[in-house]
């Protein structure tokens, strides 16, 4: 074997090693990216569980509702809830440009939202916030009186059932026209044992 041949063999071995190293690094990057993708997918899937929503804190629940609005094409979405929020936890624009103002109540599933909460919301949602679509989202049921008040005042209510559909991927705009004042129920869910 001549010196040229040995040199060619050494160069071929080095090139093969370099290609192998590059492929190994690329494989590691792909595996890491897949691990990150699967973790994000698991996080989203976990949040699609109502059990996970009941475990959120109030601010986390507000941010999650804001995230659902963004997912469904709303723009200018921001969480504004907190002390002195005047009944608005999330504000944004629907895909058609209308202003949506959302009040969020993350209660235990066996609780209900009553008429006084809706009366407070109704008192500020249009005058203070200029809402075209006033939406009240609750992780529980609304009382019969609350549903009747909302129907008279044109408030949109998402109870635990509609929140479950929204949470599972039904677009916000498909749910806005549903009237739980006539089709919903005010029966409380059973508490966890």
From first to last of its 193 residues, the chain has per-residue pLDDT tens of: 677 777 777 677 777 777 777 777 777 888 888 878 766 665 555 455 788 888 999 999 999 999 999 999 999 999 997 777 788 999 999 999 999 999 999 998 889 999 999 999 999 999 999 999 999 999 999 999 999 999 999 999 999 999 999 999 999 999 988 766 544 554 555 555 5
The two tokens of residue 64 are: 């999650």
Residues 6+ apart with CB under 8 A from 67: none
End-to-end, the C-alpha distance of the chain in Å comes to: 82
In the chain, % helix, strand, coil (3-state, to 5) comes to 55, 15, 30
Length of the chain: 193
Tell me the C-alpha distance between 131 and 94, whole Å: 11
Quote the pTM value. Answer: 0.71
The two tokens of residue 42 are: 């698991």
């Amino acid at each position: 074997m001549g010196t040229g041949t040995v040199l060619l063999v050494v160069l071929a071995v080095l090139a093969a090693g370099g290609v192998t190293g590059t492929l190994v690094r690329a494989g590691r990057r792909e595996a890491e990216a897949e691990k990150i993708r699967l973790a994000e997918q698991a996080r989203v899937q976990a949040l699609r569980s109502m059990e996970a929503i009941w475990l959120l804190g109030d601010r986390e629940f507000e941010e999650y509702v804001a995230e659902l609005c963004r997912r469904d094409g709303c723009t200018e979405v921001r969480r504004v809830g907190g002390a002195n929020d005047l009944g608005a936890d999330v504000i944004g624009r629907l895909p058609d440009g209308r202003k949506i103002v959302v009040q969020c109540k993350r209660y235990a599933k066996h609780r209900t939202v009553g008429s006084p909460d809706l009366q407070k919301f109704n008192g500020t949602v249009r005058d203070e916030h200029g809402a075209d679509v006033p939406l009240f989202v609750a992780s529980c049921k609304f009382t019969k009186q609350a549903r009747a008040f909302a129907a008279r005042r044109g408030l949109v209510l998402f109870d635990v059932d509609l929140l479950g559909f929204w949470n599972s991927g039904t677009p916000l705009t498909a749910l806005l026209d549903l009237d739980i004042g006539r089709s919903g129920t005010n029966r409380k869910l059973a508490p966890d044992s």
